[in-house]
Amino acid sequence: MKSTKQSVDKPLYGFIIALAAGGIVILASASMALGEQDFGHAGYYVLRQIVFGGLLGLIGFFAAQYIPYRWWRRAALPLLVATFILMALVFIPEFGFSSGGATRWLRFGFFSFQPAEVMKLVFVMYLASWLDARRKEVSSVAYGTLPFVIMLGVLSIFLIMQPDIGTLGIIVVSSGLLYYLGGGRISQMATLSALGVALLFLLIQLAPYRSHRLQVFLNPGLDPQGIGYQINQAFIAIGSGGITGRGFGLGVQKYNYLPEPMGDSIFAIFAEETGFIGACILMFLFLAFIWRGFIIAKRAPDVFGKLLAAGIVVSIATQAYINMAAISGLLPLTGVPLPLVSYGSTSLAITLVSTGILLNISKYGSIPARSSY
């Protein structure tokens, strides 16, 4: 095997473009009712997504393909510190603002963004760099497990205060896998998993709405006009789609029936309009992205590249799985958006930058050496 700079992974490139372009089309339909209702323009939200998320994200997407991925190793710590500062600013009224009971956003003039979305990528970068530098110490409790738990603990405090438990779960899952890939032992992972379950149980006890979500997950028929309303309306949307769907743009549930039709419920709206076939196509594109992403991680020429690629793939895959599984009743509802599809400019831009970095790593992959005759 040899490592050589080559062109980006074309299959992965195609899957990313298909997901991003398809996401805009899906959002255009899912958001039309709310756009008309809130602003008198059916295309308001999708146009905003294109301008503030799509255009900025595409600039980052193309730029990241030409920035050697090893540069992010040096930039990881400064970026982590800067992102923590931004996450702290959301609690200062002059900069941050709340929506739906959560304090997660910063506003600068007409522009707003969510620092926690940036942290999903930055923490993966830093953790990949940290694990690469401590390869021989990762299996140590004092120099590996304890610092790792402290880092996650500090980040958890910020996210719990917002609160943003969905983002916390994604970061915990992706970080745990990276720690294992970086040299963590099975016994360490078992201990960390136990701590995670204990934290989850505590968080459920501290907030009644989380307990309600768990109750509805265990008994979907519980209070269908109250705490079980969203999941029951999602079931109606998915079920009414049948095999081929009602037709694009012809869904009914987005018209003030299913909450968050362009957010965490967007997969149900898409399934209603395109049916089982459309839902399978979307899931196939995510699975294909994951497949190519792990191949790139395996072929990366150094440990940092392998961990960075794996972390990006796992983070996006975890978000996609949690979103689609939760709105289908396979997990409790979490509020996690569907990457490249749900409304959210920061999420779209950061996901595009992440995939651009992944494509850059693919340029340096190890390929079989050709025999000369």
The CA distances from residue 304 to 110, 121, 250, 311, 335, in Å, are: 37, 14, 47, 10, 31
Does 79 score more than 60 pLDDT? Answer: yes
User: What is the sign of the dihedral through the CA atoms of 234, 240, 241 and 245?
Assistant: negative
Residue 273 to residue 246: CA distance in whole angstroms: 5
Q: Which of 162-166, 206-210, 217-221, 307-311 has the lowest mean pLDDT?
A: 206-210
The least confident of 103-112, 280-289, 315-324 is 103-112
Query: Each residue of 121-139: pLDDT tens digit?
Result: 999 999 999 999 888 888 8
Domain holding 299, by residue range, is 71-338
DSSP state of 373: -
Rounded Cα distance, 337 and 169, in Å: 13
Say if residues 124 and 176 touch (Cβ distance below 8 Å): no
Confidence band of 63 (pLDDT split at 50, 70, 90): very high
Closest CA to 324 of 259, 270, 244: 270
Are the C-beta atoms of 353 and 64 separated by less than 8 Å? yes
Residue 16 lies in a domain: no
**Is 365 a residue whose pLDDT tops 80?**
no
How many Cα atoms are found within 13 Å in the side-chain-facing hemisphere of 345? 18
pLDDT greater at residue 191 or residue 22: 22
Is the preceding omega at residue 259 within 30 degrees of 0, hence cis?
no
Secondary structure letter of residue 8 according to DSSP: -
How far from chain centre, in Å, is Cα 92? Answer: 26
Report if residue 210 sits inside a domain.
yes
Edge-first strand order for the sheet with 96-99 is 96-99, 102-108, 111-113
d(CA 245, CA 229): 22
Average pLDDT, rounded, for the chain: 89
Work out the end-to-end distance of the chain between its first and last CA atoms, rounded to an integer number of angstroms: 18
Residue with tokens 């930058």: 353
The tally of domains found in the chain comes to 1
The tokens describing 120, both together, are: 């999903």
Phi (first) and psi of residue 264, to 5 degrees: -75, -5
For residue 265, how far is the Cα from the chain centroid? 15
Give the pair of three-digit tokens for residue 60: 């980052």
Distances (CA, A) of 26 to 13, 265, 315: 20, 12, 22
Residue 1 has what pLDDT? 46
Question: Is there a domain that residue 237 lies in?
Answer: yes
Query: pLDDT tens digit string along 227-266?
Result: 889 999 999 999 999 999 999 999 999 998 999 999 999 9
Name the residue among 252, 238, 208 with its Cα closest to residue 226.
Answer: 208
Give pLDDT, residue 222: 80
Beta strand segments in 80-177, E:
96-99, 102-108, 111-113
Give the residue with greater pLDDT, 205 vs 281.
281
pLDDT for position 101? 64
Cβ atoms of residues 367 and 8 within 8 Å = no
Residue 291 in this model has a pLDDT that exceeds 60: yes
Q: 80 in a domain, yes or no? A: yes
DSSP-derived 3-state class of residue 370: coil
Above 90 in pLDDT, residue 223?
no
Distance separating alpha carbons of residues 74 and 54, to the nearest angstrom? 27
pLDDT at 195: 85
Position 53, amino acid: G
Q: Evaluate whether residue 48 is within a structural domain.
A: no
In a domain, 63, yes or no: no
Residue 371's pLDDT band, with cuts at 50, 70 and 90, is: very low
The pLDDT of residue 15 is above 90:
yes
Q: Tell me which H or E stretch contains 239.
A: helix 229-241
Residue 200 has a pLDDT of: 80
Q: Give domain status of residue 361, yes or no.
A: no
**Per-residue pLDDT at 203:** 80
Dist. CA 365–CA 187, nearest whole Å: 32
Residue 39 has pLDDT above 70, yes or no: yes
Structure tokens at 134: 């401590």
- 76 vs 188 pLDDT, higher one: 76
Quickly count: other Cβ atoms within 10 Å of residue 110's Cβ. Answer: 6
Residue 272 has pLDDT above 60, yes or no: yes
Q: What is the pLDDT of residues 296-341, one digit of tens each?
A: 999 999 999 999 999 999 999 999 999 999 999 999 988 889 999 9
The mean pLDDT value for 80-108 works out to 82
In a domain, 44, yes or no: no
Strand 102-108 to 111-113 pairing? antiparallel
Place of tokens 């899952």: 173
Q: Outline where DSSP puts E strands in the chain.
A: 2-3, 96-99, 102-108, 111-113, 366-367
